[in-house]
Amino acid sequence: MKIRIDYFSDTNFAPSKAMREYMMAAEVGNEAANEDPTVNRLIDMVCAMLNKPAGIFLPTGTMSNAIAYKTHVRNTGDYIILDETSHPLIVQSGLIAGLVHATALPIKGINGIFRKSQIEELVARPAVRNIPKVRLVSIEQTTNFGGGAIWPLADIQEIYALCKQHNVLMHLDGARLFNACIASQISVAEYSKYFDSVFVDFSKGLGAPVGSILLGSKKFIERAWYYKFQFGGAMHQSGFLAAGCIYALENNIINLAEDHKKANYLAKNLSNLRNIAINPDLYQTNIVYFSLSNSEISPKKFLASLLQKGIRMVNIGNKIRAITHYGISYSDIDQTLAVINKILSS
Ligand SMILES: *Cc1c(COP(=O)(O)O)cnc(C)c1O
């Protein structure tokens, strides 16, 4: 069955014709020698937007997290604090242990968001011979497996003050940072201010095929270059890819507001269906989670029935996840609701 309506991920829609044409026309050079003019232009644009001194172009968000962690960590085994549902812990092939050689210290947050009080003791603990030091707190904005929730600025500020006091660094996984900004009306620069490193992704809702930028101080980025080479992320004529990211920045951020409205429309209408458990108020951005209540049907069977009609969602544990994006229209959502209604009442 061909997938017609794909809620699997906001990466799952093809670059527009205009983006492809813009990419093909890019001026390029040797990126690994800092000589690709389009990559350099993208880095300058993003540094200006986020008000950070330096940046580095990387193929994926996963590599951005890995290189940021690797660059920040001092001793093997150092602790990295992050929410227990964070993307690097769940779906990045164990990179904290496998590649960074650090120890993840998972915190049980709510919707991917933890509070200062939960980490205060850990952050304040002095280094001792036989216990690793907490080196880094890593936060995800928005939270993927937390349902696209937005970290409140006040919580970030409190954690920042705590970390500063104890010389602990902060990293922002900004795979969907622009979604948070559009929804909260808080600027990317304001969110970024509290972090020693930030990455932003262009291949999620922004629709570029590849690309992210990791930002930080000049010294941090110089060290990040070492790991970019070590991890095989130093590229050559990658200006073609950077051009897709520039196109996305200039044209597609505005689409994210529409993605959020679509997710809200989906969530509100799902809440009116029988045998669906969802609190639509939880979903402020483009990620929706729901579960099947009082129903004989298992999540697996439900997803298979959807797929038979060309509609794809996924299950994360017992919950079903749907992500809206540019490639999904309101009429697609109406069709989806009708199909779900039929599956659940049969
Ligand atoms: C997708 C995602 C990543 C990884 O990005 P890739 O470009 O797919 O490697 C990291 N963090 C979060 C929160 C994500 O959703």
* Per-residue pLDDT tens digits for 76-87: 999 999 999 999
In the predicted model, is pLDDT for residue 346 greater than 90?
Answer: no
pLDDT of residue 1: 77
User: How far does CA 105 lie from the centroid of its chain?
Assistant: 19
Kindly state the average pLDDT of the residues 131-157.
Answer: 97
Kindly state the average pLDDT of the residues 44-72.
Answer: 98
The helix (run of H) or strand (run of E) holding residue 284 is: none
31 lines ligand 1 (CB under 6 A): no
Residue burial 282-293, b: 16+ Cβ < 10 Å; e: rest: ebbbbbbbbebe
140 lines ligand 1 (CB under 6 A): yes
Report the separation in Å between the CA atom of 131 and the middle of ligand 1, taken as the mean of its atom positions. 30
In this prediction, residue 127 has a pLDDT band, given cuts at 50, 70 and 90, of confident
**Four-residue CA torsion sign, 193, 199, 204, 209:** positive
Report the separation in Å between the CA atom of 62 and the middle of ligand 1, taken as the mean of its atom positions. 6
173 lines ligand 1 (CB under 6 A): yes
pLDDT tens for 66-78 read 999 999 999 999 9
In this prediction, residue 139 has a pLDDT band, given cuts at 50, 70 and 90, of very high
pLDDT of residue 345: 87
60 lines ligand 1 (CB under 6 A): yes
pLDDT tens for 313-338 read 999 989 999 999 999 999 999 999 99
For a mutational test of ligand 1's pocket, the pick from 83, 201, 287, 316, i.e. the residue with the most ligand atoms closer than 8 A to its C-beta, is: 201
In the predicted model, is pLDDT for residue 51 greater than 80?
Answer: yes
pLDDT of residue 294: 75
Mean pLDDT rounded to a whole number for the chain? 96
pLDDT of residue 95: 95
Q: What is the distance between the alpha carbons of residues 16 and 207, in angstroms, rounded to a whole number? A: 8
pLDDT tens for 150-192 read 999 999 999 999 999 999 999 999 999 999 999 999 999 999 9
Q: Cis omega before residue 143 (within 30°)? A: no
Kindly state the average pLDDT of the residues 247-254.
Answer: 96
Q: Is 94 left (phi over 0), alpha (psi -120 to 50) or beta?
A: left
pLDDT tens for 213-249 read 999 999 999 999 999 999 999 999 999 999 999 999 9
